[in-house]
Structures are given as C-alpha cells and as structure tokens.
Structure 1
Amino acid sequence: MKTVFIGINGYDYPYVRVRCYHFAREVKKYGIESSVISLRDDFAPNLSGIDMLGIRDRKKLYLNFRAFLRLLKDSGAIFYIQKVHYHSAAPYFLTKLSGGSFVLDYDDWDIDRSPLFNRGYINRFFFGTDGVENVTKRVAEDAAACVASSHYLADYLSVWNRNVHYIPTGVDIEKFSRNTRRTGNEVNLIWTGNIWGEVMYENVMFLLRCFSKINPAGKKVTLCIAASGYFYDKVKSDSMKMRFPGAIQFYDWISPDKMNDLLNNMDIGLLPLIPDNENDTWMRSKSPTKLFEYMAMELSTVSSDFGEVPHIIKNGENGFLGNSEDEFVEKINLLIKDDSLRVKIGEQAKKDVAENYSLDVLGKKLSQILKTIKP
C-alpha cells in the first residue's frame, strides 16, 4: 500500500511541512509506503511561497504537467491532496481517469480565496466545474475520505462527505523537547509567525500593548518576536513609539527546524487570535501549530479563547485563555510572578501534547484511516 502526499507549497509552510512531509514520514511506521510531491520544492524552488499562489495559468499548467508525470508512476497509490488549489488538478484528474482513490486534507480556510486557474474553462476541464466553492464541493464529494485540522473545518466538510476525520496539525515532540529548566529572575515571552497582512499586524500590536501594561514583579522580562512578512518592519517601527517595562527582542525569520532552539530559552508562549471581518472564518478554522510547539516545549501559554484553541487549552490547567488586553495582562502577570505555576502548567501542556497532538499519535490515526481505503 502506498500514499502520495501532494502539496502546493514548500517545507517552510506548516501545511506542507507537517501535513505532507511529516505525515508521510509517520505513516511509514505503520507499514504504509509514502512519498511527497511539493510543487514548489520539486518543480519551482526559485519561487517564494507567496509567488506560488499568484502565478499565471501557463505556469500552473506546467507545474501540474510535471506532477502528473510523476504521479503516473504511482497511479495505483492513494493520493493525499492537501487543500483544493490549482495543484490538486493533476491528482484529481488522474484519479478520475484511473478510478483510483484520494483523500482531501484541509488545515486552513482558503475556500473563499483559493488560487485555482484564472480561466474557468481550465477549471471545468480538470474538475468538471468552475468557481472556488463549486470546485471544493466537487473534490470533497469525490474524496474517499476528508481529513480536517479543526472542528470547524470538519463540520464544514461533513456537509459534502460522510467520511470526515479530525486530525490537527500537531508537533514532533522528539524535536520540540525542552532540555533546560528556566526559573529565576528572567522571564522571556514569545510570539512567532508571519505578519503577512493587516490582521496579523493588529494581533502583534495587541501583544505589544499588553506588554506595555504588565507588572514585571521585580524580574527582567523580555518579549521576543520571531517573525517575517510584509508588515514586520511596520511592527518594529511602531514599537519604537511605545514604552515598555521590559525589553523587546526582534528575530528575523527562523528555519522551522531551528525553532525549538529558540523556544528552549522561552518561558511564556503567546497566541492572540483577533480576527477582522474578512478573516474571521480563517482564524476560526486554523489548527494552532505554534500553540502545539509552545506546549511541547513546556511553555505556559496565554491564548485567545477563540476558534480551535478552547478545544485544546483547559483554562488554568494546561494554559490560560483570555480575550481582552486586560485578561491577557492579568494572566501574563500571574505567570511572570509565580515560577512554580509556570512550570506546573508547562509540564501539563507537554503531557497533553504527547497524549493527543504528537505526530506519532496523529500518524497512527491517519494510517488507520488510510488502511480502510481501497486504492
């Protein structure tokens, strides 16, 4: 039995790194042969992740042609299609020709902004219909199974497919494993991410305003921001106009394979999820990858009580939930002041991740699903 995982983007994007590369690695442990086709890594390494979403139809067709030729060699395999973008054309079309099976995986809400082909007749050729929602519906209906990273997405896909499974994005707990115990006079807070748009800019500014209000309790407190994205420079410049009771440390883009080294020196992980009207569904649908990484590294966390997070965080047990700036500040102050509470919550977070959100646990669940599907 073989499964081919197909993603649009590169290893540096969590939805391909975890849900293609890592899932492919994990199912091998349970006797399933696997491989990965990343349209960017394999056929367009010169393009950025953003470039991949905005290329012209001619380039999209070329990349699908390359993928189609590769997939022909594995036409008897189960295709694991990570989201319905233009890259799903080749595997979907091939399964229609061969009578094979595929699984549709969704980790994020892209259904109102999915980069399909710009020309409707090309979409109709590959998918039999046009329009983002129509194409997504068609692919979901034809899938042997759907896998969703959040409860919201699972409910959404269940309208079109009866065989829907919840598998969050998860974390490699062997790699993300703490090797130092931090207590004492220094407390480091961390946020990581891509500040790609105004909504993410506002989320980071929310954290900066919270940090400006904290009580250091006599400790040396630092807020660390490790980020990239179009609005990152604006965050840096706007932070210069604010006053803080501690230091601000900015880190530029860090390789996903090095993130554990940075988190090893942190104490409190922060995850605000404050949507605007345009991105409410997107944030509600996200599987919080960075939260799993924080928890695996035994960081105590303060997160928004929104979206997928309250399904994961039990307030006061394995992390804290809040919504307003005052609620975030209250929880942050409590964790800064109380070293033992910080350690206790971090240890419980690690335990919960190991039992429910580790790649080993998720890989076992996915392998069981795949073994029920006829190629």
Structure 2
Amino acid sequence: MKIHFYTKGDEKIGDSRQRAMRIADELRERSIDTVVHWPPVVLISTTRWPKKFFLIVTTILSLFSIKKRDIVFLQRTIGNKYFFAIIVAYLTLFRRKMIFDFDDAIYMHDFYKTKKLVQMADVVFVCSRALQTWVRQYNKNVHIFHTTVKLADYAKYTKDYSVPQSPLIIGWVGTARDHYKNLSLLAEVFKKLPARTAVPFKFLLIGVWGFPKIKELFEPTAGLNVEFVEYLPPGKMAPTIQSFDIGVNPLVEKGEWNMSRSSYKPYEYMACGLAQITSAVGEITHVVHDGVNGYLADSVDEWVEKLAKLLESRELLAQLGAAGQKTIREEESYEVAVPRMQKIIEQL
C-alpha cells in the first residue's frame, strides 16, 4: 500500500506543510510508503496557458502510478476546476480509496466541490468539531486531527522560567498583514496594561513583512517597549518562541470561518513549554483549558487582567507552560496523532 498525497500548496503553505507533507514524512517513518505528487493545486491555478497544460498533463500521468490497493490523500484540493474534474473522474472510474482533509470552512467559498469530495471520500479528516458537524451531513466517517506539531522538534527549545529576565517578553509571530484586526485588539490591551502592573515588559512582534500599518498600531502607544521583526529565517521558529515569556494569539471575529478553525500558534507555544493566552474562539477552546494549561481571554479587560497575572508571577508562567507542554505530549503532537491516523488508514 502506498498513500498518494495531492496538496493545495507547496512547502511554503502552512496547512499543506503541516497536514500533508509532514504527515507523509511521519507515516514513512512508520513504514508506510508515501509520495507527495507535484504540482500542487494552487500552482495549476496560478500558472498561465500553455504552461498550465503541462501541469495538467503531469497530474494526469501521476494518477497512473496509483495501484489498486493504494490510497489517494487529498489535502484541501478544491482550488482548481481542472484538478477537481480530473480527480472526480479518476475516482469514479477506478474506485480507489480516498481520504479528504481540510482545515477551514471552505464550503463557504466552494460548496459544491467541498460537498462532492466529502461524499466521495472513504474517510474525512478535519481540524474542528464545527467542521466535523458539517461533514456528518454527507459522510459519517469523519475524524478530528488538529493542525499540530512534532513535539521532538520543539521540546529541545523548552522555556526555562528559572532564568531571570527583564523586561519580560510578550511575543506574537505570524503574518501581520493577515492579522491586522487581531493585532488591533492587542494594541488596545497595551494601552491599559501599564496601569494594571508595574512589571516591565516588551512586545515582540514577528512577521511585519513590510506592512507599515502594523507599526502604526503600536508606535503611538505612550511608553510601550515594542520591537518589530520583518520575518523569521527557516528553522528559527522554536528557538524564537523559547525567547518569549508569554505567547499571545488574539482573534476578534467569531463568524463561522474562525469558529471552524484550530489556531496553530498556541500549539507551537505549548510545545515549547511557553505560557500563553489565546482568544476564546473556535476549536482551541477544546485544547486550552483556562487557568490549567494556558489562559483564554475574550474582552480587552480580560486580556489585560490575565496578562498582568502572568507578568507578576514567574511561578504561574512555569506552571501553565509545563501543563501546556504536557497537553501536547499526551494528546496533540504528531507522536500521538499520527499513530491514530495510521490505524484509521490501515482499516480502509
């Protein structure tokens, strides 16, 4: 048996990397043969004719390598009409086993393609209870796998709270342009936080990517110690998170899209043993338990209150950080999730 992965994007696209390419690597380490086929669906969509024709032919030819007992793994492959038509025709004609994986409410943008692949799938993998509920209208064999991390890659960068540090670092990492509204919440928090605690802190924002409006959010705040980093080089995520004292993950919109998501940043924070605060939005509320392995916050005042508690207690930082890492180790890491996924695959 070989698992043939077809992905939305390449290694640079986070969900394709974490939900397909890394999964393929992990399964291979467990003696399951895997291959990630090229081109990704996004590349087909963004390539102009006549080069697009070459990519379509390459995709068709790759299908001839799939044997009778092999499995097709489709990671969010709804973004191109040519790929969709080809894969639906192939699965209809050759009756291969198929896994469909997606991690956002993509049916809001492309209902027909999402519904069709869900109906055709032998099993569906999603990242949240909200998506699971939607899928069950069309396919009962659906399982939740959060978009998570390999703990071994992060645990070697576990935060050591016994080492004194001043000022304490409140850190955020991501693509700032995509999170302007979310970061606006933090800007309001930092206007109020100095009045709540005398503990000195610095806000480290990583991922400006040349977007000047982000700096304009925070620079006018009187007395705020803030540092902006344009981007992180490859391989620097875990050691950078280790340099934080508190990780933050604000989300302001509570529409269907965000309520169906499983935020990725909290998993990285927790894997490094970092105390963190995340907005009480979506699937993450089933992973972060308020005051146990992290903090959940909603309003600006709640963010201020809980950040102040963390800044004022190194013991609380260490306690929540250790509990968060324990959650990743025992419930959420690749080391736990992939064996469960493997068992499902082997039963197809």
Alignment partner of 1:162: what SS? coil
Q: 1:82 to 1:263 in 2, by over 3 A?
A: same
Q: 1:173 to 1:53 in 2, by over 3 A?
A: farther
Shift of 1:12: 2.0
Instruction: Tell me if structure 2 keeps the 8 A contact 1:228–1:253.
Output: yes
Q: 1:104 to 1:91 in 2, by over 3 A?
A: same
Alignment partner of 1:370: what SS? helix
2:230 to 240, 252, 261: 252
Instruction: Tell me if structure 1 keeps the 8 A contact 2:158–2:271.
Output: no
Residue 230 of structure 2 is aligned to residue 234 of structure 1: no
TM-score scaled by length of structure 2: 0.90
Shift of 1:196: 4.1
Q: Which amino acid aligns with 1:21?
A: M
Residue 166 of structure 2 is aligned to residue 174 of structure 1: no
2:204 to 209, 214, 224: 224
Which residue number in structure 2 is paired with residue 74 of structure 1?
66
Q: Which amino acid aligns with 1:203?
A: N
Q: 1:256 to 1:111 in 2, by over 3 A?
A: farther
> Aligned ranges for residues 202-217 of structure 1 at < 5 Å?
202-215=181-194, 217=197
Alignment partner of 1:176: what SS? helix
Shift of 1:243: 2.1
Residue 31 of structure 2 is aligned to residue 31 of structure 1: yes
Q: 1:17 to 1:299 in 2, by over 3 A?
A: same
Distance 1:258 1:93 in 2: 42
- Post-superposition CA distance 1:99-147 (Å, at most 9, x none): 211110011122233xxxxxxxxxxxxxxxxxx2122111110111100
Shift of 1:366: 1.0
After superposing the two structures, state which structure 1 stretch, 347-356 or 18-27, moved more.
18-27
2:167 to 167, 171, 186: 186
| Unmatched runs of 5 consecutive residues or more in structure 2 | none
Give aligned pairs, total: 340
| Unmatched runs of 5 consecutive residues or more in structure 1 | 45-51, 114-131
Distance 1:352 1:264 in 2: 17
Shift of 1:186: 2.9
Instruction: Tell me if structure 2 keeps the 8 A contact 1:318–1:345.
Output: yes
- Post-superposition CA distance 1:38-71 (Å, at most 9, x none): 5359x95xxxxxxx76556876654333222223
Residue 283 of structure 2 is aligned to residue 308 of structure 1: yes
Alignment partner of 2:252: what SS? coil
Instruction: Tell me if structure 1 keeps the 8 A contact 2:169–2:245.
Output: yes
Which residue number in structure 2 is paired with residue 284 of structure 1?
259
Which residue number in structure 1 is paired with residue 56 of structure 2?
64
Instruction: Tell me if structure 2 keeps the 8 A contact 1:2–1:32.
Output: yes
Shift of 1:255: 4.3
| Amino-acid identity (%) | 24
Q: Which amino acid aligns with 2:73?
A: Y
Distance 2:242 2:10 in 1: 25
Q: Which amino acid aligns with 2:136?
A: S
Instruction: Tell me if structure 1 keeps the 8 A contact 2:207–2:229.
Output: yes
Distance 1:58 1:110 in 2: 29
Distance 1:146 1:273 in 2: 27
Q: 1:218 to 1:239 in 2, by over 3 A?
A: closer
Q: Which amino acid aligns with 2:335?
A: D
Instruction: Tell me if structure 2 keeps the 8 A contact 1:79–1:91.
Output: no
Which residue number in structure 1 is paired with residue 18 of structure 2?
18
Residue 347 of structure 2 is aligned to residue 369 of structure 1: no
- Post-superposition CA distance 1:139-192 (Å, at most 9, x none): 110111100011111111111101101111111111112245134333111112
Q: 1:255 to 1:160 in 2, by over 3 A?
A: farther
Distance 1:242 1:6 in 2: 46
Residue 85 of structure 2 is aligned to residue 85 of structure 1: no
Q: 1:176 to 1:134 in 2, by over 3 A?
A: same
- Post-superposition CA distance 1:280-310 (Å, at most 9, x none): 2221111211110010011111111111121
Instruction: Tell me if structure 2 keeps the 8 A contact 1:68–1:94.
Output: no
Which residue number in structure 1 is paired with residue 125 of structure 2?
147
Q: 1:54 to 1:228 in 2, by over 3 A?
A: farther
Instruction: Tell me if structure 1 keeps the 8 A contact 2:106–2:114.
Output: no
Q: 1:58 to 1:201 in 2, by over 3 A?
A: farther
Distance 1:105 1:60 in 2: 25
Q: Which amino acid aligns with 2:60?
A: F
Instruction: Tell me if structure 2 keeps the 8 A contact 1:146–1:164.
Output: yes
Instruction: Tell me if structure 2 keeps the 8 A contact 1:9–1:38.
Output: no
Residue 292 of structure 2 is aligned to residue 317 of structure 1: yes
After superposing the two structures, state which structure 1 stretch, 91-100 or 320-329, moved more.
91-100
Distance 1:240 1:53 in 2: 39
Alignment partner of 1:80: what SS? strand
* Root-mean-square deviation (Å): 2.3
2:248 to 264, 270, 273: 270
Q: Which amino acid aligns with 2:92?
A: K
> Aligned ranges for residues 150-161 of structure 1 at < 5 Å?
150-161=128-139
